[in-house]
Structure 1
Amino acid sequence: MKLHGSPLTRAHVAFVHDIVMAALSFVLSLYLRLGGEVAGWWSGGELGLATLLFAGIAAPVFISQRLYRGVWRYASVSDMLALARAATLTVLIFTAFLFLVTRLQSLPRSQLIINWFVLIALLGGPRFLYRLFKDHRQQTKIARASGRIPVLLVGAGDEADLFIRAARSQQSDYVAVGLISERGARVGRHIHGVDVLGSVDQLEQVVAALQAKGAAPQRLIITDHNMDGGAVRQLLDCADRLGLSLSRIPRLTDLKDGVSDRIEVRPIAVEDLLGRPQNVLDREMMERLIGGRRVLVTGAGGSIGSELVRQICALKPAHLILYEACEFNLYTIDMELSQRFPEIERLPLLGDVRDHARVNAVMTQHRPELVFHAAALKHVPMVEYNPDEGVLTNAIGTRIVADACRDAQVALMVQISTDKAVNPTNVMGASKRVAEMYAQALDLAEGPRGGTRYVTVRFGNVLGSTGSVVPLFQRQLAGGGPLTVTHPEMTRYFMTVREAVELVLQAAAFGTTDGQERGRIFVLDMGEPVRIVDLARQMIRLAGRIPDKDVKIVFTGLRPGEKLFEEIFHGAEPPVPTERPGILSASPRAADAQALGLALDELATLCRQHDRDQVLRRLQALVPEYVRGDTPSSLAG
């Protein structure tokens, strides 16, 4: 015997079971309706014929509804819906057949409704009883198994539900001993028999209570991916006091809906400590901006530029031009895009934004509609030691790109800036402020009559980018330390590369829809700044070591051009809320585009003559708030 092409297996046993239950449901429902009067049916032989007819109709219906593809061990809501459909079809077909034969004269109509409920109960009941039995046996095995790691889950939502279900598998390394609710709203309830024991604020009491029961957890696992960085830092501190490790499960989209899946938890990363609750982005607006358009990205192989082109490709541009000065970076991002987005038409071009002829030739030949200007020299000490090169790239290069966009009638240029441009104390920040000024001046000069829009986006330090403190700490940790911090009070704003690029795209889309935003600078609401020494200590603890004991922290003093505290707004540009949560705009500080252009011509000449002192004097004249730090003797001459 075969059922749906399968050899004789448990599916056939289940099929026979269901046919018997179908026959029994007809007799039982008739008894519930008629009581003792059902004996009159039996004596006349009608009961037997009707029961056989009902079971005979049920057989092909059950097979047609594929009731035997599932496994009773994993019976779920979808299986229950399939049983309900099968019961409904069986009763309806039986009713129609009996109406044609007897006009339903000998059978009470209400019996058919009762039969539907009884049939579902007899089909579904044994399946779910079997699942409960197997679950109980599985839990017993897990409880007795050696080597399982008892864990306390932080978060009582969908991810916790999937984790607990997957942890019941014999392949799982973990057993959940309790749940912690972020806000305490679900305390006293349970998920699959695992109790919600308290809120995050009650973590220490919960762990103490579990220890008293002999069920002490060895690890905290965060299941809520919307938890902000401040809450994660508090959990890390508490876990450290309790002697517990802290981990996170994959995102819900990375978990398969199968109880036999093996869930691999991962250590908390520095991004988790610094992340913020994600603001809802207007994806439709971003798709309208990018979709079907020709886009050019300068600095396409850099840390910001490469993430920018990835997200742009996901929005399906008509054509993408990758403009990059470093051959290796250009090759790397081009190969990645060829594998991830083979359908996107793209063109990798080697070129420097300081090369006026090259930039103009690219703009004239390829006519991009949107330009994202991410090319920059951004490592503060390196630019401080090489100010002429930094100004040539960051200020003069931006001017060259912006003018080329205007001449080629580009619809939009997005200038990517930095918080170091606010009250700068270094050449890098001052040169980026000049770039901001020129983009703002051109945007204001165009006015409401149209022309190229220039949108400037400003954000703080990007985790993992070139020159970021995080990769430095990671390299120092790998070498055994020490971790070098310039000053115990130094603070910085941080964001992830993904957040930075999403801000760029969102601000670009928003800036093109509101003419009143001309000349403004869009800034991410980055929350509170983070002390670098605190970040260093947290990274040491994440590595499983003890700060100041296993790994030392050494204070080296401020480097040339560094300042203790970064700002994201100048006093003369008060922040103004926008329609998008989490994005602010800075009121423009107007500058005359023509006068600024003449000053930049002079600055470019000085840079190409490598007259360092004159470059710095001219830069300070352009950016009066630029305060030059102490110049090391090695820079003299």
Structure 2
Amino acid sequence: MKKKMIGVFLIACDVILVNLAIFLAFYLRFDGAFNTGIASPYWDVYKDNIFSLTMLKIFIFYVFGMYKNLWKYASIEELFQIVLTSFVANAGVVTYMVISQQVLPRGIYILAFIMDVILIGSMRLSIRATRGIKENSLFSFGRRKEFKRVMIIGAGQAGALVIKELKNHDNLHSKAVAIIDDDDSKLGARINGVPVLGDRYHIKKVAEAKKIDEIIIAIPSSCKKEIKEIVEECSKTKCRLKIVPGIYELIDGQVSIKKIRDVDIEDLLGRDPVKVDLDEISDYLQDRIVLVTGGGGSIGSELCRQIAGFNPKKLIILDIYENNAYDIQNELLRKYPDLNLEVLIASVREKTRIEEIFKQYLPEMVFHAAAHKHVPLMENNPQEAIKNNVFGTKNVAECAHEYGVKRFVLISTDKAVNPTNIMGATKRVAEMIIQSLNIISKTEFVAVRFGNVLGSNGSVIPLFRRQIAEGGPVTVTHPEVTRYFMTIPEAVQLVIQAGAMAKGGEIFVLDMGEPVKIIDLARNLIRLSGFDPETDMPIKVTGLRPGEKLYEELLMEEEGLESTKHEKIFIGKPVFTDLKLLHRELDILKELIGENREEIKEYMVKMVPTYKRTS
């Protein structure tokens, strides 16, 4: 209703203004004597056609959307619209007068067009000016306190668009008051009325001086390393951080308020997006039947998301947890309605059920992500770790061999290297199983080994976030604990790329970048949440848990390391290929599953000579 009333008001104003424009045109053309002498017949022509000419202009204004715009947000684009619409409207008047064989001096048409632009443009833009005065007036002082004061990082096009978006969306209750940019030539300049006050090293100082509540990083073309450095500077303030996604994340390349997201811990890794060979990946996934075990988990579900984008003949998700499987099923069917998707609830521990699945679906590619991975839980439940990680892998791998799968990719872990816990030891045995099977099988068995993934189920990031939300303390097991980290999509992209490069028997090792101290990760996450570590949010050191290392490794000394054509993927040489010996040891291990935990762990030391028990 309010919008209709505004439209009626604008039409009424335009009826007056278009006639005032012609009146002024006559006044200027005939030096004020428009109703006498030579001007009189022309004035009579205008009076005879005043209704027709007015309605014609109003109709053209309506067709061109002059009554649909929200003029309180008017900008240069709306000014261009006024000029164009006024030109067309006056051209319509000329056409009408010619068709009706009536005459007005050419100067009247030109002056009327100019007056239309001035009068209608002034009226429209005055609405915008009135809004600005109202927002900044002393009368709105109490209301302005509710607005968040925002600092924009980046004085480029993205920054300008963010400022405009903030001005155009009152519901955001945000106002840009300062801009930061490293380009010295922009210092002191204003963008949409907001001043550039310094470079990245002035962020803290400007934030304090301007009482900034929120910082928006608006440099989508910058590399991850630069973003990391800027985020670290911003983290010295207590401001909430948001970021315009990178160009590679902006599918349509357009910046808008809806696409601005919170700065996350991933932005502090400082690594650029992974580059993959799409042609190579397509060759082995497109039109293939692909099975993902553990497809509802953190890594498994991301595998399914990315594999679905390569148009497999059929994607089979296998998981024991129906809730996880249900969630990824619904997500994929929404995003890929034509995807041939099959979701199976089954346990990799049950060899008969796995055989039925392989016999029925005959998968050509298998990504084996099903595993127990929680270190402390597996220390207390070694039987379960062995059932799932060892014999579950054995079941799936043997079926892959028996039913002629082309390629089998095991998702492994850095904890399999010189393991100090039962989880790592079981994953090393899983690697041994696929390496020894590769010798006798036509199936290409490979493993991909990487460290922690940010945000995965059971990782430290969700734990830290819960602890911060509860007011702390944030718990860290040891001040010197370091870990390698990747984002889930980054790790999965490299897993898929490694699968494309496989020839059989390899252990692919992913370049995880520089190791990160867990306590530094905790401090950064606390800062990103708007708190000061130790002062606002305490960090409590709890001591190493059973089986936990101070640092992780990605390669055993005897494996060596070979580079590949991909800069972030390396190959470790096979070090175990004795299938008969492994089968004998696995038979003994199977008998021990019902025994006590000590006997199981002792035998695992025998099977995995690099396993150094700590509990």
User: Normalising by the residue count of structure 1, what TM-score does the alignment of the two structures yield?
Assistant: 0.74
Matched, 1:137 2:128: no
1:187 aligns with: 187
Which AA in structure 2 matches 1:461? Answer: N
Which AA in structure 2 matches 1:584? Answer: K
SS of structure 2 residue aligned to 1:587: strand
- Residues 148-174 of structure 1, C-alpha deviation per residue, up to 9 Å, x if partnerless? 355341423536743564367655544
Rounded Cα–Cα distance in structure 2 between residues aligned with 1:480 and 1:460: 29
Coordinate RMSD, CA, aligned? 5.0
Matched, 1:553 2:508: no
Displacement of 1:106 after TM fit?
A: 8.1
1:635 aligns with: none
User: Normalising by the residue count of structure 2, what TM-score does the alignment of the two structures yield?
Assistant: 0.76
Which AA in structure 2 matches 1:222? Answer: I
Q: Note if contact 2:476-2:539 (Cα within 8 Å) is conserved in structure 1.
A: no
Q: Note if contact 2:526-2:532 (Cα within 8 Å) is conserved in structure 1.
A: yes
Matched, 1:620 2:608: yes
Q: 1:476 to 1:219 in 2, by over 3 A?
A: closer
Displacement of 1:293 after TM fit?
A: 5.2
- Residues 104-144 of structure 1, C-alpha deviation per residue, up to 9 Å, x if partnerless? 99859xx9889877755554444234323322322336555
Displacement of 1:343 after TM fit?
A: 6.5
Rounded Cα–Cα distance in structure 2 between residues aligned with 1:361 and 1:422: 34
Matched, 1:70 2:73: no
Rounded Cα–Cα distance in structure 1 between residues aligned with 2:4 and 2:426: 73
- Residues 505-545 of structure 1, C-alpha deviation per residue, up to 9 Å, x if partnerless? 4x26xx53x67x76655555443221112233444554746
Corresponding residue pairs, total? 592
1:235 aligns with: 233
1:401 aligns with: 396
SS of structure 2 residue aligned to 1:465: coil
Matched, 1:495 2:498: no
Which AA in structure 2 matches 1:586? Answer: F
1:598 aligns with: 580
SS of structure 2 residue aligned to 1:145: helix
2:595 aligns with: none
Instruction: After superposing the two structures, state which structure 1 stretch, 597-606 or 80-89, moved more.
Output: 80-89
Q: Note if contact 2:478-2:541 (Cα within 8 Å) is conserved in structure 1.
A: no
Q: Note if contact 2:397-2:408 (Cα within 8 Å) is conserved in structure 1.
A: yes
Rounded Cα–Cα distance in structure 2 between residues aligned with 1:570 and 1:167: 57
Q: 1:466 to 1:133 in 2, by over 3 A?
A: closer
- Residues 7-44 of structure 1, C-alpha deviation per residue, up to 9 Å, x if partnerless? 9721322441563376469769x959x9999x997366
Q: 1:354 to 1:113 in 2, by over 3 A?
A: farther
Displacement of 1:374 after TM fit?
A: 1.0
Displacement of 1:602 after TM fit?
A: 2.4
SS of structure 1 residue aligned to 2:195: strand
SS of structure 2 residue aligned to 1:176: strand
1:213 aligns with: none
- Residues 459-504 of structure 1, C-alpha deviation per residue, up to 9 Å, x if partnerless? 3212333432334445555676655433322111223334433444
Rounded Cα–Cα distance in structure 1 between residues aligned with 2:340 and 2:363: 13
| Aligned positions of 1:283-294 closer than 5 A | 294=289
Equivalent of residue 576 in structure 1, options 543, 563, 566:
563
Equivalent of residue 247 in structure 1, options 221, 241, 247:
241
Which AA in structure 2 matches 1:464? Answer: G
1:607 aligns with: 589
Matched, 1:463 2:454: yes
Which AA in structure 1 matches 2:585? Answer: L
Q: Note if contact 2:166-2:172 (Cα within 8 Å) is conserved in structure 1.
A: yes
Rounded Cα–Cα distance in structure 1 between residues aligned with 2:219 and 2:387: 42
Displacement of 1:191 after TM fit?
A: 2.9
| Aligned positions of 1:193-592 closer than 5 A | 193-207=193-207, 210=209, 216-224=210-218, 230-231=228-229, 234-235=232-233, 237-239=235-237, 244-248=238-242, 270-274=265-269, 276-279=271-274, 294-312=289-307, 319-327=314-322, 329-330=324-325, 333=328, 344=339, 346-387=341-382, 389-436=384-431, 439=434, 456-474=447-465, 483-505=474-496, 507=497, 511-512=499-500, 524-540=510-526, 542=529, 544=531, 546-547=533-534, 551-557=538-544, 559-569=545-555, 572-574=559-561, 576=563, 578=565, 584-590=568-574
Rounded Cα–Cα distance in structure 2 between residues aligned with 1:375 and 1:352: 9
SS of structure 2 residue aligned to 1:609: helix
SS of structure 2 residue aligned to 1:487: coil
Displacement of 1:375 after TM fit?
A: 0.6
Which AA in structure 2 matches 1:554? Answer: V
Rounded Cα–Cα distance in structure 2 between residues aligned with 1:330 and 1:295: 16
Q: Note if contact 1:98-1:104 (Cα within 8 Å) is conserved in structure 2.
A: yes
Which AA in structure 1 matches 2:8? Answer: T
Rounded Cα–Cα distance in structure 2 between residues aligned with 1:57 and 1:292: 61
Displacement of 1:445 after TM fit?
A: 8.1
Which AA in structure 2 matches 1:377? Answer: H
Displacement of 1:328 after TM fit?
A: 5.3
Rounded Cα–Cα distance in structure 2 between residues aligned with 1:236 and 1:129: 38
Q: Note if contact 2:245-2:260 (Cα within 8 Å) is conserved in structure 1.
A: no
- Residues 193-251 of structure 1, C-alpha deviation per residue, up to 9 Å, x if partnerless? 1112111212244346x3xxxxx415342334866674366235521xxxx34333686
Instruction: After superposing the two structures, state which structure 1 stretch, 7-16 or 223-232, moved more.
Output: 223-232
Rounded Cα–Cα distance in structure 1 between residues aligned with 2:121 and 2:411: 60
